[in-house]
Structure 1
Amino acid sequence: MPFAHDMVYSLATLIDLINTSPSVGGEEGLDDLRALGEFVERQQVSNVGRLRAADLTEVRALRESFHRVIVAPDRATVIIRLNTLLGGTRITPTLAEHDGHPLHIHYFAPGASLAERLSADLGVALAHLLVEDEWERLRSCSAPDCDHFFLDESRNRSRVYCDSRTCGNRMHVAAYRARRRA
């Protein structure tokens, strides 16, 4: 995939955030501040500080806005929804080098809340995905019992499962057993 480290990282963070939604997995993945803190640590969001109840509320609302963007029925709707999301975000591009990561760009304004930071960085990554005509790399899992999203980073854009070790393996075993029964 022809994207820089920071874009791939932001898109992975976006996927992880969306997959915490009850509208995706059926359960609330950000049910409390502890879960939000685990998300922040897992995604290595730097310099967040102490999380507040307002952060949880704001990040959940942002998550649903992003979900509405990626499930939009067509490109025009994606553009409208993404522009609306980005229009509500203070964006101040800044070059950064921290935590062992190579030089990259943060798009959030100084002093931004966690939701504002995510909105700016993840929103810009989605915009680049759309502009680079790579939107089809953002997919939902093909396993019938899984609604998770993933980013297809394969060279030939052939990935169909969110995780080859769980959903992919389960589907391959089911297909094998069906062939054996036939």
Structure 2
Amino acid sequence: MAFAHDTEVALAGAAALVNTASGGDEAIPTVAALADFIHRHSWTGRHDNTDDELRSVQRLRPRLRRVWEAGEDEAVAIVNALLRESDALPQLVRHDNWPYHLHATSSDAPLADRMAVEAAMAFVDVIREDQLHRLRLCESSDCDNVVVDLTRNRSRRYCDAGCGNRAAVNAYRARKAAAQP
């Protein structure tokens, strides 16, 4: 199952945003850190660069994370609430080097609203395609990051924080230790 490019980008951005609060660490503690996050993940539109904007984005994260933890009915309720609260109005737009794609807020809407709606619109595609199982938690026992599995064979088990590499190294070491007389 391949999603539209803008859906995949929005899912990756939502996961990255959720993971900025994983493990009890705050990865976007300042307005400057938020500006860096926005730049790294190519968020367009209005950026106020204020503490209020930062707090709004931080408050959004647990709501988005809940979609990864929810069953289908609860995920639908969360998505509908995000769209409703942000006065989403889907429309086709073209900007930068992107072909026509869907935006559901104006570029001058508050950042947290745009983030919520872009994530919600991506979740809509995931739910409509019966692919909610592609949103999962990292399988590493010491990690609580979220994962978006966009692999063809639905095999992604670990987040982007190096958990897969650590698991492979640990498994290798365990095999080596078991082979020692």
TM-score (norm 2): 0.90
Residue 139 of structure 1 corresponds to: 136
Q: Give the root-mean-square deviation of aligned CA atoms.
A: 1.7
> Which residue in 2 is equivalent to 1:52?
50
In structure 2, the residue matched to 1:96 is 93
Q: Residues 9-51 of structure 1: CA distance to partner in whole angstroms, max 9, x if unpaired?
A: 1111100110011xx2320112010111011101111132432
Secondary structure of the equivalent of 2:102? strand
Distance 1:33 1:162 in 2: 25
1:113 to 110, 114, 120: 110
Check the 8 A contact 1:107/1:120 in 2, yes or no: yes
- Residue aligning to 1:158: 155
Unaligned runs of 5+ in 1: none
The structure showing larger relative contact order (alpha-carbon pairs under 8 Å, at least 6 residues apart) is 2
Give TM-score, length-normalised by structure 1.
0.90
Q: Is the 8 A contact 2:2 2:150 kept in 1?
A: no
Matched-pair identity in %: 38
Structure 2 unaligned regions, length at least 5: none
Deviation for aligned residue 1:110: 5.4
Paired position in structure 2 for 1:30? 28
Aligned partner of 2:172 in structure 1 is 176
* Correspondent of 1:62 among 60, 63, 66: 60
Tell me, in whole angstroms, the C-alpha distance in 2 between the residues paired with 1:79 and 1:47.
27
1:133 maps to amino acid: D
Alpha-carbon distance in structure 2 between the residues aligned to 1:161 and 1:119: 24
Task: Report the AA paired with residue 96 of structure 2.
Answer: D
Contact 2:104 2:118 in 1 (8 A): yes
What is the letter of the counterpart of residue 181 of structure 1?
Answer: A
Paired with 1:153 and 1:130, the residues of 2 have a C-alpha distance of: 14
Distance in 1 of aligned mates of 2:94 and 2:81: 29
Give the length in aligned residue pairs.
Answer: 178
Whether the 8 Å CA contact 2:18–2:65 is kept in 1: the answer is yes
